[in-house]
Amino acid sequence: MQAQEKGIRVVGTLLRDSCPLPWVLGDSYRLNQILINLLSNAIKFTPAGGTVSVGGYFVSETEDTLTTEFRVTDSGIGIAPDKLESIFQEFTQAYADTTRQFGGTGLGLSISRALVAQMGGRLTVQSQLGQGSSFSFVTTLPKASPEARQAALAPVPPVQEAAVRGCRVLLVEDNPVNREVAQLLLEGHGVIVDEAASGLEALALFMDRRYDVILMDIQMPGMNGIEATERIRAHPDAARAATPILALTANAFRTDAEKYAAAGMNDTLPKPFDEAELLSKLASLIAGVNGPLVALDRPAPIPAPSVEPSHKAPVPAEALAGKEAAAVPGTSRLFDLTLLDKTAHGKTAFMNRILTSFHTNTPGSVADLRMAHAAADWTAAAAVAHKLRPSLRLLGADSLSEAIAVLEAKSSSEPERQTATMQLAVGLEELMKVLPREVESPASAV
């Protein structure tokens, strides 16, 4: 979509077309994150009429391993020889005016090189100034067994609504937008939902009622999800102490999953919620089957920005979902309701409840960010950013994702956190100005 908007031709070579048997054991989500970063970068720095190619290529194999090369090449502005290594450093762009001209913080290549290194490879670049660049990496992974291939190809069994209908769930989540989304999804399948906005509220409800499953957010003010889980697991009634707990987290990393398992959680679910995955995990926990507790990253690609015009009256849902917003010179797109529309299955009542909740609760987040900025409390700023990330992803507010990444990154400097905090606060204020409070159903739109 970004390339089409910019008038760039994209071509690709699928690994299966260049490799006789491209089945390996590895982290597909990490690989996807790397390629998305490289592809987005190539499109960003390639002018209209240019070409970007992405491909996977067979290199060699042994009886047990397969070595492949992944390469993204563009016909863009290119990089000077003396800048080729510095571009992989955090928050470093090749030229001083790159951020002003093209946007971005320079984190993507640093993250991509680190991920490639974790996979045992090295991300390299070849470039000629004014003629384009080619980023590539080679990785060697163990071949998958026939059984593993069959398991990967097996269709996912459909979720049986009867398995979750009528069950009682305790939803523990401090972000009201995320609570609203989960509640609407679950109640649409006959699940009875009790809500708690903190670990302490959750414990109070847990003491009063029995639940089939607890959906537990991790990062909450006061008592966090891990502490609340430990308290639940210490309940004197062994049956109640064993109530299945599903961790809800925006940090879907393997190390996090191991930490949640050690605290007594049964499975993890990344935010924002995927309906089928949420219901499938819920049904499994009700049936007494724990999840693998090995969560994999599901990074959100950052689209090229364009702006959504301000709306005072209800906006037809079909005008906001599945279509790009109109561009306004000198600004960037602030939202895209495609994912919200998909999550809501096109139900405008669902969408409007989420939009209303966001408008109601975001001013408090802006105030918290400004207070954190004034007090130089970057821990508080990072907590606000973490809480907002899933709902901003749901609303397609991708222009704010880089500020959130800076605030959440442990390696960010104080000046970077200071700038990112104000960028996020101002960006939220701008988002509230243009984000509609409600959409109309396509049938009622004129």
List beta partners, residue 239: none
What is the sign, positive or negative, of the torsion defined by CA atoms of 175, 188, 393, 331? negative
Beta carbons within 8 Å of 212's beta carbon, 6+ residues apart: 167, 168, 169, 243, 244, 285, 286
In this structure, the strands spanning 51-61 and 213-217 are: unpaired
Q: Are 221 and 199 in contact (CB under 8 A)?
A: no
pLDDT tens digits along 5-33: 889 999 988 888 888 777 888 877 678 88
How high is the pLDDT of residue 11?
92
Supply the DSSP string of 252-291, one letter for each residue.
--HHHHHHHHHTT--EEEESSPPHHHHHHHHHHHHTT---
For 237, other C-beta atoms within 10 Å of its C-beta total 9
Please provide residue 262's backbone torsions phi and psi, each rounded to the nearest 5 degrees: -65, -30
Supply the DSSP string of 3-45, one letter for each residue.
HHHHT-EEEEE-HHHH-S---B-S-HHHHHHHHHHHHHHHHHT
Predicted TM-score (pTM) of this structure: 0.50
Q: Are 71 and 136 in contact (CB under 8 A)?
A: yes
Low-confidence ranges of the chain (pLDDT < 70): 29, 83-108, 152-162, 251-257, 289-333, 441-446
How high is the pLDDT of residue 438?
84
Q: Which helix (H) or strand (E) holds 188?
A: none
- Distance in angstroms (rounded) separating the CA atoms of residues 389 and 405: 9
Cβ burial 272-298 (10 Å sphere, 16+ → b, else e) = bbbbeebbbbbbbbbeeeebebebbbe
CATH number for 315-440 (one of 1.10.150, 1.20.120, 3.30.300, 3.30.160): it is 1.20.120
Residue whose structure tokens are 């409070």: 437
Q: Enumerate the domain spans of the chain.
A: 2-151, 161-286, 315-440
Instruction: State the first-to-last Cα distance of the chain, in angstroms, to the nearest integer.
Output: 27
Q: Which CATH superfamily includes the segment(s) 161-286?
A: Response regulator (3.40.50.2300)
How high is the pLDDT of residue 332?
43
List beta partners, residue 57: 69
Q: Are 103 and 45 in contact (CB under 8 A)?
A: no
- Distance in angstroms (rounded) separating the CA atoms of residues 164 and 78: 54
The length of the chain is: 446
> 2-151, what's its fold?
Heat Shock Protein 90 (3.30.565)
Beta carbons within 8 Å of 256's beta carbon, 6+ residues apart: 218, 249, 268, 295
Tokens of 316: 């037809």
Tokens of 172: 């523990």
In this structure, the strands spanning 192-196 and 168-172 are: parallel
For 410, other C-beta atoms within 10 Å of its C-beta total 5
- Distance in angstroms (rounded) separating the CA atoms of residues 316 and 46: 34
| Identity of residue 309 | P
What is the sign, positive or negative, of the torsion defined by CA atoms of 390, 106, 253, 274? positive
How high is the pLDDT of residue 263?
81
3-state secondary structure of 198: coil
Supply the DSSP string of 299-315, one letter for each residue.
PPP-PPP-PPPP-SS-E
Diameter of the chain measured on Cα atoms: 70
